[in-house]
Amino acid sequence: MSILWILLILFVGGVVAWISEAINKQLPRWLALSSVILAMLPLVSLMDGGDDISSAWLSSLNTAWIPSLGIQFSLAVDGLSLLLIGLTGFLGIISIASAWEEINSRVGFFYFNLLWTLAGVVGVFTAVDLFLFFFFWEVMLIPMYFIIAIWGHENRKYAATKFFLFTQATGMLLLMSLLGLAYFNWKATGVLSFAYEDLLAVDLAGDVERWLMLGFFVAFATKLPSVPFHSWLPDAHSQAPTAGSVLLAGVLLKTGAYGLIRFTLPLFPNASSEFTPVALTLAVISILYCAKLALAQTDLKRLIAYTSVSHMGFVLLGIYAWNLIGLQGAVMTMLAHGLSAAALFSLAGGLQGRLHTRDLRKMGGFWLASPKMAVTAMFFSIAALGMPGLGNFVGEFLSLLGVFSVSVSAAAIAALGMILAAVYSLWVMQAVFQGESTATSGLQDLNRREMLAYGAMMFGLLVMGFFPNLFLVFSDSAISGLLSLDQLVAVAKGRW
């Protein structure tokens, strides 16, 4: 029941926030903030072991939804989804703080879309009926489209349309693949079911498994995103409002990685094993190619967007290592990147709001004018480049260590991405805060609300860096359970 309460609070809170604008324009902000905080309270009981600690799931809910089609309203939480729901709630609060002063038109409708995006993401992380999973997959995309299209910047309609087309087209591939999977399960057992546990047992022929796996992989790799499915992301990030960028980078990208871990490899183990060399190649290309593209950008938000694609390449690398170390590295990278990327996009949005430009060529010498912002930007830039002692280093190190047992060459080439990360991170610091001073009169430094939000994210990255086991212990049982499935033994044998 804890999961259902989280979803209901977010869905209902969004509607109430929308309606409340008629009473007071400030009320939707406070209602949205209260809704997210209230929705995250049930996580405390789940962290203590949930409903049944002897079960594979910490908490679960299963009831009939469309029984004639074998569709159940099935939700469940294990350690992996618990971590990602916690990240979602935390960054939901950060996104509300980012929008507090930036969003001044149609405020109620904005927070309605924000809360429904969060609810859709929580649904994705908890659905164990694949039709219900697809339902939540669509729910989280539509409100994000409105956030970009209505409250975005100069080319917002183009960016929102591109985001929608990429995600909807690949979403249709996902739908066709899961319908095909359910069909072959029905053909083998005579029972129509979309339940995760039932579909895990489906024995597919070689070509059928390959095609169905590709449908899942393309949908999730687009959301991750990975080269060559990444081109929607820089446009969406550069045109989205700050809160939209925080949600995109910190939360929505993680749904793609979660889908690969939870569904693609377990459901299609043999095809995934064959596909491992291709996946590792795409991961390495994403890391290096997008790091190179980042160095060519003059738009600050586009630069950070390309670095996000590069860092998410380490997630793909760890996933297709398909061993405990690699998967733990992927999870830690997801969590750490969620905080560091959200902070960098929030800083970029703050600069744009103050300077009315994202052009790096019009920035410089801001260190003396805004020292708090400069120090904060340096911290998150250092985190992004993988400084030991911070969460990003732990995640990327474990991902590389895990993939080393699968492909030495993939690990060695991907490690070059950490060098490029240092180059573009330090270059941004030089371009924005050092060098020749530009007109900085009236450049406002970070206020208390902003410092509180950044301080919380700094604290999170430091805890991940120095005490990673606090997070790894939650995902360990979930990942070990996936790895213990007999049909997954072959996946770890995929070679570069």
Nearest to 243 by CA among 138, 120, 342: 342
Which residues does residue 75 pair with via DSSP β-bridges, in sequence order?
61, 127
- State percent of the chain over pLDDT 70: 94
pLDDT at 238: 86
pLDDT at 446: 85
Q: Over the stretch 479-489, which tens digit does the pLDDT of each residue have?
A: 877 776 544 54
Better pLDDT: 363 or 83: 83
Amino acid letter, 104? N
Task: Report the mean per-residue pLDDT for the chain.
Answer: 88
Domain, as residue range, for 487 = 277-496
Amino acid letter, 183? Y
Q: How many domains does the chain have?
A: 2
Last residue of a domain, one of 267, 297, 317: 267
Q: Report the residue count for the chain.
A: 496
Better pLDDT: 46 or 227: 227
Is residue 351 domain-shared with residue 440, that is, in the same domain?
yes
Last residue of a domain, one of 217, 232, 267: 267
Is residue 249 domain-shared with residue 161, that is, in the same domain?
yes
- Cβ(167)–Cβ(143) below 8 Å: no
pLDDT at 440: 54
- Cβ(257)–Cβ(326) below 8 Å: no
Q: Over the stretch 111-131, which tens digit does the pLDDT of each residue have?
A: 999 999 999 999 999 999 999
Q: Over the stretch 317-332, which tens digit does the pLDDT of each residue have?
A: 999 988 889 999 999 9
- H/E stretch holding 307 reads helix 300-321
Better pLDDT: 443 or 372: 372
* Structural domain contains residue 272: no
pLDDT of 54 strictly over 50: no
Is residue 191 domain-shared with residue 297, that is, in the same domain?
no
Distance CA 2, CA 59 (A): 7
Better pLDDT: 150 or 53: 150
Better pLDDT: 436 or 347: 347
Is residue 204 domain-shared with residue 337, that is, in the same domain?
no
- Cβ(152)–Cβ(160) below 8 Å: yes
pLDDT at 150: 93
Is residue 261 domain-shared with residue 282, that is, in the same domain?
no
Is residue 197 domain-shared with residue 310, that is, in the same domain?
no
Nearest to 417 by CA among 289, 317, 288: 288
Burial pattern 451-483, b for ≥16 Cβ within 10 A else e, equals eebbeebbebbeebbeebeebbebbbebbeebb
Q: Over the stretch 435-494, which tens digit does the pLDDT of each residue have?
A: 776 655 457 888 888 899 999 999 999 999 999 998 998 888 788 777 765 445 444 444
pLDDT at 486: 46
- Cβ(287)–Cβ(317) below 8 Å: yes
pLDDT of 106 strictly over 60: yes
Amino acid letter, 35? S
